[in-house]
Chains A and B, each alone.
Chain A
Amino acid sequence: MRRVAIVATGQTDHAKARDDASQPELIYEAVSRALADGGLSPGDIDAVVLANMELFEGRMLPDLWCGEAATAFLKPCIKIATGGTSGTSAVIAGFYQVASGLFDTALVVGWEKHSEGHTQTGMSMTDPLWDRNVAGGALNNFAISISQYMRTRGATREAAARVAVKARHNAALNPHAHLKMPDLTFEQAMESRVLAEPVRLLDMCPQSDGACAVVFASEGKAEKISSRPAWVHAAATRHDKPYLGDHGDRLSTMRTLRSAAQEVYSKLEIREPLKEFDVAEIYEPVTYAELAWYEALGFCKEGEAGRLIEEGVTHLTGELPVNPSGGVLSTNPVGASGVIRAAEAALQIHGKGGRRQVPDCRRALVTGYGVYSWSDVMVLGADRPN
């Protein structure tokens, strides 16, 4: 089977509002950086896969308006839109397009310009018969599931605050990140304004304007473009039921993430993910989710997530740095966020992490999260897969 790697990445300088750039211009910024990263020109890209949740900006078929900014002139170009997992879904779709043999290279670009729409209105457009009456957007969903998670797993506000601080300190080392807060203190995170009990302001991800691009290449070509291609070793996806009421104890159970991770670990014979990965870029829209993901991904036993963050295991200098980029907690243009996870994992393997570089990074875990517990899991590695 054809082996495929991420050979180049590029992203915009993410911000609350990029009034200086239109949606195509944001894409162009990320894409030109990715092409420069790989020493590539537009003609080197065979196919384009875009990721964007156009409802949030009040658009339709934005891939047709913005595609040319992603080199998609007289080329194959499709768009994936699967909520928060749009970026990781698109990355996986781009991988398959090159793995198919139809194309030798593919460019995957995710973007969002939240400042141009009203995202939470979009988020509240859930099933009109049952869910819409209780829809309160992302915040509401999390407030409910976090309350359950704290009760069943003993997760504490303190652990969540530590996640908030780690994320924004890491972001300060990332030139592209939106919320860079190098001086954020634990006390500030603990006392930030309550949004919806128990979720506080600094527990939540921002809404950002931004774009991110990755370039896939097939074996034979990948080695010519990058001296250390980030090979795709495995990928798995799980979607779940349509109604909010069917997702009891979402964060504690997280059956989609567990199942997808299990499939990937099984395939790669990974038994101790904490030891066997060098870095993890996981999709954590809220601090408590990062704790829940530690447990669902097998980094620790149930109820131990707090210990992991307290002991610094997932800090940049710890055994398994989680989200050295600052994560979704620091930067969240929805359509791009999943692509950013893959890009940040890939650039760690490429050795291009700058001040957030994890030394000797050879194997990375990438996850995506969205909608009602949808999960994507992918593993990238410096070694060519078998």
Chain B
Amino acid sequence: MVAGVGRTTYGRDERSIPEIVYEAVSCALADARMTRDDLDYIVTASIDLFDGKVASSVLITEVIGAVMKEEARVSDDGAAAFFQAAAMILSGRKKNVLVVAHAKNTESNYDALTEWSCDPLFMQPLGVNDPVAAALQADLWLGSGGQTEWMDRVAAVRGNVSMEEVRISRFLAEPLRERHRAPVCDGACAVVLTSNVERRPSNVVVTGLGLCVESHYLGDRDLIGCPALKSAGDRAFHLAGWKQSELDLAEISAPFAHQEILWTRALGLPSADARRSTIDGVSLNPSGGWFAGNPYVVAGLERICCAAEAVRAGRASKALAHGCWGPAGQGHAVVLLEGRN
């Protein structure tokens, strides 16, 4: 059960990492009407290479309330940290778990650093990084029926710019242009999970969970079919006992425009057309998704926050939230949320 959420405003932030995390955590605790004393466990998400710091969650132990308490740091997307936190609550041994994700993308060269996530023997020497991997994926998609116009439209609608601005933006890695990717920025996000499903005022229950990782080598992967996402989605829907058609809302993490189209299809959602924000009753990324400006590592947890807020406010009764990480989305996590009264 999601008890509370909190976040910083995403953008370029001059504050330090502990300061931005403090803001997100204080908001989440206040939203949950809890204090650090109520927390049994804290799961954080951050990556040393981005933070420029060894064991970088040490920077934030005070502001997340982890001093003399239990904490573990997951070095993948925040949605993976959420998954671990949910598992701890499901074990029956923890009652209130705080999940926190942070990153300051403006303080590092994201593109260069993602080269170091690729196999150093076969992929890295080719200059593969996140944008390059995404571009190879987009190229395959265009060659198998995808249309440039569709991804231009996603980029325009989500990024709040004109189609023309998308089309004239510089090439990032052909066929992807600068405007086809979400802007990099700084920020932190926090979610409080509780085992107490009777807790009010929040009524957001986690009913489905799935996490799955594909093969690493691009040549071994089905970059269009996205089997890891499909598997994570199937697992989540199976646990929840839902069908895709029951969803009202989907918050999907797509750092590159074509991926929103690929991911919605892999999840078995009604095929998305970004011109309309609601397709067959499913509202897709009303928050703007990643294009509204989310940092890597935080984005998946932010999707969960957005979905939870929508359910709590009554804008949706069954919602899907998604996070991804790695080149061309090698790892995926899917969370299903339901409003209960």
Contacts and interface: CB of A to CB of B under 8 A. Distances in A.
Interface string B63-102: 0001111111111100010011011101111000000000
A372 interface: yes
Contacts of B330: 64
Given A60-B117, A68-B215, A241 B55 contact: no
A373 to B, nearest CB: 10
Contact of A100 (B50, B62, B71, B88): B88
Interface stretch (B118-126, B258-266, B287-295): B118-126
B75 A80 contact: yes
A239 B48 contact: no
Given A81-B48, A96-B91, A102-B90, A64 B54 contact: no
Interface core residue of B48, B92, B239 (most chain A CB under 10 Å): B48
B186 to A, nearest CB: 16
Contact of B55 (A79, A256, A370): A370
Given A83-B55, A242-B61, A236 B70 contact: yes
A60 B93 contact: no
Nearest to B74: A78
Contacts of A89: 72-73
A58 interface: yes
B68 A102 contact: no
A242 B65 CA distance: 12
B55 A239 contact: no
Contacts of A96: 84, 87-88, 91, 93
Contacts of A370: 55
Contacts of A128: 52-53
Contacts of B62: 241-242
Interface residues of B, number: 62
B117 A82 contact: no
A64 B90 contact: no
B216 A68 contact: yes
Interface stretch (B138-146, B162-170, B205-213, B308-316): B205-213
B59 interface: yes
B213 A100 contact: no
B87 A102 contact: yes
B47 A76 contact: no
A238 B69 contact: yes
B169 to A, nearest CB: 27
A22 interface: yes
Contact of B87 (A61, A72, A97): A97
B228 interface: yes
A76 B84 CA distance: 11
Given A76-B213, A126-B53, A238 B68 contact: yes
B58 interface: yes
B60 interface: yes
Given A97-B87, A125-B53, A259-B68, A61 B59 contact: no
Contact of B209 (A55, A102, A123, A241): A102
A144 interface: no
Contact of B59 (A2, A67, A242): A242
A58 B213 contact: no
Given A74-B228, A78-B80, A1 B216 contact: no
Interface core residue of A67, A81, A97 (most chain B CB under 10 Å): A81
A384 interface: no
Contacts of B242: none
B67 A241 contact: yes
Contact of B72 (A2, A80, A123, A124): A80
B216 A255 contact: no
A1 B326 CA distance: 35
B88 A61 contact: no
A383 interface: no
Interface in A72-103: 72-83, 89, 92-93, 96-97, 99-102
B70 A238 contact: yes
B113 interface: yes
Contact of B90 (A53, A100, A122, A256): A100
Nearest to A56: B54
Contacts of B326: 61, 64
A65 B118 contact: yes
B47 A61 contact: yes
Contacts of A73: 213-215
A187 interface: no
A241 B67 CA distance: 6
Given A1-B91, A64-B216, A241-B67, A77 B331 contact: yes
B278 interface: no
Contacts of B277: none
Contacts of A122: 48, 54
B68 A78 contact: no
A323 interface: no
Contacts of A58: 116
B212 to A, nearest CB: 6
17 contacts: A1-B93, A54-B49, A55-B54, A60-B117, A61-B117, A61-B325, A65-B119, A74-B214, A80-B72, A82-B57, A83-B58, A92-B72, A100-B90, A122-B54, A240-B67, A242-B58, A371-B55
Given A128-B52, A256-B68, 18 more contacts: A1-B92, A2-B92, A59-B49, A63-B75, A65-B117, A68-B215, A75-B212, A76-B83, A77-B331, A78-B80, A79-B74, A81-B48, A100-B88, A125-B48, A237-B70, A239-B67, A371-B58, A374-B58
10 nearest CB pairs, A to B: A99-B91, A83-B55, A100-B90, A100-B87, A61-B117, A55-B48, A237-B70, A76-B211, A81-B75, A60-B117
